[in-house]
Amino acid sequence: MNQKFPNIVATPGIVSGRPRIINTRLSVEFILGLMADGSSVENIVLAYPQLTVEQVREAIRFATDSLRQDHFVEFQRAS
């Protein structure tokens, strides 16, 4: 278990090995998508009662931390 993100796990064969919230099949990517579509942390927890506010916030922190790493996707400039 990751001490920095104890609620985030990745298991081959579950959600295609993507990082997810422990004991669920809800990926970090899915949580971020809900937020991008306008859901608040509180609304996500209401819609998915197996989650806690802390788990959703940890998913956001995990994604933020991941983007701070040196691995970036290069975008091509539109013509």
Which pLDDT tens digit goes with each residue over 15-26? Answer: 999 999 999 999
Rounded to two decimals, the pTM is 0.83
Give CA angle at 45 (47, 34), nearest 5°. 70
Instruction: Give the integer Cα–Cα distance in Å for 76 and 59.
Output: 28
Q: Which of helix, strand or coil describes residue 13?
A: coil
pLDDT at res. 70: 63
- Do 21 and 7 meet the contact criterion of CB atoms below 8 Å apart? yes
Q: What's residue 67's pLDDT?
A: 86
pLDDT at site 73: 56
Amino acid at 42: E
27: β partners = 20
- Please report, for the chain, the start and end positions of each structural domain, with discontinuous segments joined by +: 1-6+28-68
Stretches in the chain below the pLDDT threshold 70: 1, 70-79
